[in-house]
Amino acid sequence: MSASNTFEALAANASDHDAERRSMVLLTAAVAGVATVGVAIPLVASFSPSERALASGAAVEADISDLAPGAMKTVEWRGKPVWIVRRTEETLADLATLDERLVDPRSEVKSQQPAYAQNTSRSIKPEYLVAVGICTHLGCSPSAVAKGTANPGVGQDWKGGFFCPCHGSTFDSAGRVFKNKPAPTNLEIPPHKYLSDSRLLIGEDELA
């Protein structure tokens, strides 16, 4: 084989290698691009607000058709527990006897409830209490304590209500705080309205 033929063969071989190299580079770039897109989509999706986050400020509808007198259910609104309590006639009668023992019996601290809940029962319908179940002292969650309990934390002649185990604050069955307790104000009453006799909407009212 002549020198020129050898050179032409080497050049052709080198050209083939260059073509293969370019193909490999293009293929690698394409695969990398697909991989990048594959990573980018979940990453972008992770930045999108979840349904729970979107719903965190929305009103919550609750079914109260199955709530018997004396019973309580809890629903979540804006990440907070909201109690719905169906009070008995006896419980409602007891509310009127507690004024002297309470910090704010007439709910005069307006920030703690809407105007329609500035009454003895702190509610639209006296039968039902709708209250945020978070102590106004340091944010613990009180527990419901029935009338006549032996719990020493609530004292004698307890008419029923709520006791905060963290620091001993007590609230009556309208969420009103007793005197000489760490909690400075009554429990919060959220905005709410009745859609029907059996459906309650928490987070919206007629004033919204």
Q: What is the pLDDT of residues 19-46, one digit of tens each?
A: 555 555 444 444 444 333 333 333 333 3
**Do 85 and 33 share a structural domain?**
no
Residue range of the domain that includes 136? 54-202
Please give the structure tokens belonging to residue 172: 């009556």
Q: What SS3 class is residue 60? A: strand
Q: Is residue 167 part of a domain?
A: yes
Q: Are residues 64 and 147 in the same domain?
A: yes
Distances (CA, A) of 77 to 41, 132, 181, 202: 31, 9, 27, 7
Q: How far apart are alpha carbons 27 and 21 in whole angstroms?
A: 10
Residue 93 domain-assigned?
A: yes
**Based on the domain organization, do 159 and 194 belong to the same domain?**
yes
How far is residue 189 from each of residues 52, 80, 154, 157, 178, measured CA to CA in Å? 23, 12, 22, 26, 17
Same domain, 122 and 63: yes
Q: Say if 106 falls within a structural domain.
A: yes
pLDDT tens, 137-157? 998 999 999 998 888 889 888
Residues 186 and 86 in one domain: yes
* Three-state secondary-structure class, residue 95: helix
Same domain for 5 and 90? no
Are 74 and 167 part of one and the same domain? yes
Q: Could you tell me the CATH number of the domain that includes residue 195? A: 2.102.10.10
Q: What would the pLDDT profile of 65-114 be if each residue is shown by its tens digit? A: 999 999 999 999 999 999 999 999 999 999 999 999 999 999 999 999 99
End-to-end CA distance of the chain: 96
% of the chain beyond a pLDDT of 90: 65
Q: Indicate the average pLDDT of the chain.
A: 81
Same domain, 191 and 148: yes
As a whole number, mean pLDDT of residues 50-76 equals 83
Q: Which of 48, 68, 83 is the last residue of a domain?
A: 48
Number of domains comprising the chain: 2
Mark whether 41 and 143 lie in a shared domain: no
Is the same domain home to 15 and 105?
Answer: no
> Is residue 122 assigned to a domain?
yes
